[in-house]
Amino acid sequence: MSAKSNSHQRMLDGARNYANADKSDPFAYSRAIAHMKCGVASPSADKGQAAFYDAEPYEGVRKVYRDGVEIGEVKATLYRGMVRP
């Protein structure tokens, strides 16, 4: 895999992670892809940081509620460290 395609795949993965982390924005993934296509998000370093969307996935526990009452917990993939260009 070439360096260019490797960085492109990293940007796609970052866009997906960012969209999964921001559930309140139904257009987060589309916006990230549009920013990649027009050059707003790029793999080049800007002040020591890559200038593209990303979020760090980790395994955690999410509480489940029904009618405002906690009824249990489930394992889930959660996200932290959201980054936007």
Number of H helices, E strands in the chain: 2, 4
Structure confidence at residue 84 (pLDDT): 87
Q: What is the pLDDT of residues 39-75, one digit of tens each?
A: 888 776 555 556 789 999 999 999 999 999 999 999 9
**β partners of residue 73:** 63
With 0-12 / 13-18 / 19 or more C-beta atoms within 10 angstroms meaning exposed / middle / buried, residue 59 is exposed
Q: For the whole model, what pTM was predicted?
A: 0.76
Name the CA radius of gyration of the chain, rounded.
Answer: 16
